[in-house]
């Protein structure tokens, strides 16, 4: 009987002796999935993670280039001019393509129809249920923001209100050097450059995505921190000058 009980307990003993870690929530999720994320926000967070880490170079390059051009245009021109030029550029592309396809169809005597018919047939109607869901989700954040504003400005907590006052005082010095568009450009350059630099020069054996058994996250390499500081300094100087 003792041998039988030992034999039945041997699988659990062997599995624990090799330091097997419990599976993460979600079961069979691969190592390429987003780490430390819940099931509800995994898809959107993974999309943002892949975007800022340049997983798809064409997609990230398009988003980064487009937003950077728009911000630089807003820094040089008015909002009305930027919007007007963007609409004119889009109309120039679509009208030119429409005329080109019409000429090709007339020459070849084909009946392909409208070149954008597949996109015109797409149903983009927003249902009332989806609209109410978006409004309800927005109202949650709006009510939370209003409650926070009232709590800070009516000094419910003196320490929090003083923190806000100090932060706003520091922002006056920031506003003397940068304007809002410049800060947005700086933020975009940092978001699309710092993560990829960190991932490239970090220690891969101790990264957060390759944690050890105790779940301890590694520290950065010294040269990585120096490189990030140099990167931030160069971007700041370029925007200031």
For 73-125, write each residue's pLDDT tens digit: 888 888 999 999 999 999 999 999 999 988 888 888 887 788 888 888 888 88
pLDDT of the residue at 90: 94
Of 194, 198, 201, 195, the closest CA to residue 236 belongs to 194
Predicted local confidence at residue 221, as pLDDT:
53
Higher per-residue confidence, 16 vs 228 = 228
| pLDDT > 70: percent of the chain | 66
Report pLDDT digits (tens) over 14-63.
444 444 444 444 444 444 444 444 444 556 678 888 888 888 888 888 88
φ, ψ (nearest 5 deg) of residue 134: -65, -40
pLDDT of residue 218: 46
Residue 174 has pLDDT above 90, yes or no: no
Q: Note the pTM of the prediction, 2 decimals.
A: 0.57
Q: Can you tell me which residue has the tokens 């931030």? A: 232
The per-residue pLDDT of the chain, averaged, comes to 75
String of DSSP letters for 113-148: --TTHHHHTS--PPPHHHHHHHHHHHHHHHHHHHHH
In Å, how far are 77, 92, 225 from 232, measured between CA atoms?
Answer: 26, 38, 11
Average pLDDT of the residues in 205-213:
46
Query: What Cα–Cα distance (Å) separates residue 59 from each residue in 51, 94, 153, 191?
Result: 7, 21, 42, 15
State the pLDDT at residue 119.
85
In this predicted structure, the answer to whether residue 137 has a pLDDT above a threshold of 80 is yes
Predicted local confidence at residue 120, as pLDDT? 85
| Crossing angle between the packed helical segments 57-76 and 79-108, to the nearest 10 degrees | 130
pLDDT score of 241? 53
């Amino acid at each position: 009987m003792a041998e039988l009980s030992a034999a039945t307990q041997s699988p659990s003993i062997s599995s624990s002796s090799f330091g097997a870690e419990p599976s993460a929530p979600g079961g069979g999720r691969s190592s390429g999935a987003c780490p430390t994320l819940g099931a509800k926000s995994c898809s959107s967070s993974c999309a943002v993670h892949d975007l800022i880490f340049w997983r798809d170079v064409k997609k990230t390059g398009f988003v980064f280039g487009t937003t950077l051009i728009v911000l630089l245009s807003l820094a040089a021109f008015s909002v009305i001019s930027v919007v007007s030029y963007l609409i004119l550029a889009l109309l120039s592309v679509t009208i030119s393509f429409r005329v080109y396809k019409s000429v090709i169809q007339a020459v070849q005597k084909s009946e392909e129809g409208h070149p954008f018919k597949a996109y015109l047939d797409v149903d983009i109607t927003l249902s009332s249920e989806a609209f109410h869901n978006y409004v309800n989700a927005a109202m949650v954040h709006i009510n939370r923001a209003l409650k926070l504003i009232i709590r800070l400005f009516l000094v419910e907590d003196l320490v929090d209100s003083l923190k806000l006052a100090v932060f706003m005082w520091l922002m006056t010095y920031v506003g003397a050097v940068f304007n809002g568009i410049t800060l947005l450009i700086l933020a975009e350059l940092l978001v699309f450059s710092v993560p990829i630099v960190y991932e490239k020069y970090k220690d891969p054996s101790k990264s957060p995505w390759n944690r050890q058994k105790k779940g301890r996250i590694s520290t950065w390499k010294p040269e990585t921190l120096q490189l990030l500081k140099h990167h931030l300094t160069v971007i700041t100087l370029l925007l200031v000058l």
